């Protein structure tokens, strides 16, 4: 895995910041949202917004149409404070993005850490991508980042697809042991980029 792919991997996990990552892609049936479904989604979003501290462990697979690869992911969120760590087992390479609403640090892609006032600017400067970092903590839990996002619902009433900021985020499975259920298989696309996330464990008090 070369440096170029490591940069692709870093950007893709933040774009969402997706079983096995290389397993078959299954589409649950979805339907357009009605008023009752949107009301339930809003209530779900309010409940999860009251739980800003969480973490997950899983496996990540990404492709930009040319390069592809996979690695383990650890993501810890404490309110606005975040830390993403991705480890590629084949090369042993690890990179970490950490920060909060006013500061971000990227480590593992250069010899020394690089810093910026916010994560989105840092990624644009270092990787040439404009990623909506502020949306990621919502998408990974099956939430909208804004009321304007388009949501398609599964037969069980959970979000099956969220279209927002040029990304299509599809939810293929949920952990029903969580209350409310949280996604365990996510497939996200934007142009040539493909991201698969398989969540092995949620820690969501």
192 pLDDT band (50/70/90 cuts)? Answer: confident
Q: Is residue 205 part of a domain?
A: no
133: domain CATH number is 2.50.20.10
| Paired tokens of 72 | 């383990």
How many domains would you assign to the chain? 1
Least confident of 6-15, 114-123, 135-144, 155-164: 6-15
Q: Identify the CA nearest to 196 among candidates 60, 18, 9.
A: 18
Q: Count of alpha carbons within 13 Å of 158, Cβ hemisphere only? A: 18
Q: Determine the structural domain holding residue 158 and report its residue range.
A: 3-18+28-200
Burial 102-133 (b: 16+ CB within 10 A, else e): eebebebbeeeeeebebbbebbeebbebebbb
Residue 169 is assigned to a structural domain of this protein: yes
Residue 36 has pLDDT above 70, yes or no: yes
Mean pLDDT within 90-109: 87
Summarised one tens digit per residue, pLDDT across range 140-189 is: 999 999 888 999 999 999 999 999 989 999 999 999 999 999 999 999 88
Residue 23 covered by a domain: no
Q: How confident is the model at residue 22 (pLDDT cuts 50, 70, 90)?
A: very low
Q: Decide if 145 is inside a domain.
A: yes
| Residue 74 belongs to some domain of the structure | yes
The Cα-based distances of 146 to 13, 57, 143, 190, 191 in angstroms read 20, 26, 9, 18, 21
Instruction: Say what percent of the chain tops pLDDT 90.
Output: 50
- Give mean pLDDT, residues 120-149: 82
């Amino acid at each position: 895995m070369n440096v170029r792919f490591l940069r692709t991997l870093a950007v893709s996990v933040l774009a969402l910041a997706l079983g096995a990552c290389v397993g078959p892609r299954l589409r649950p049936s979805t339907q357009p949202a009605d008023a009752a479904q949107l009301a339930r989604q809003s209530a779900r979003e309010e409940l999860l917004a009251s739980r800003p501290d969480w973490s997950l462990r899983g496996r990540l697979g990404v492709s930009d149409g040319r390069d592809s690869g996979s690695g383990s992911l650890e993501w810890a969120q404490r309110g606005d404070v975040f830390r993403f760590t991705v480890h590629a087992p084949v090369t042993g390479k690890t990179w970490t993005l950490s920060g909060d609403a006013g500061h971000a640090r990227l480590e593992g892609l250069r010899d020394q850490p690089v810093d910026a006032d916010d994560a989105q600017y840092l990624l644009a400067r270092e990787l040439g991508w404009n990623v909506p970092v502020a949306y990621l903590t919502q998408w990974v839990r099956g939430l909208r980042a804004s009321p304007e996002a388009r949501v398609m619902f599964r037969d069980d009433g959970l979000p099956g697809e969220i279209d927002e900021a040029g990304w299509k985020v599809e939810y293929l499975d949920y952990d029903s042991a969580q209350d409310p259920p949280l996604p365990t298989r996510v497939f996200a696309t934007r142009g040539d980029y493909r991201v698969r996330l398989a969540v092995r464990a949620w820690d969501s008090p």
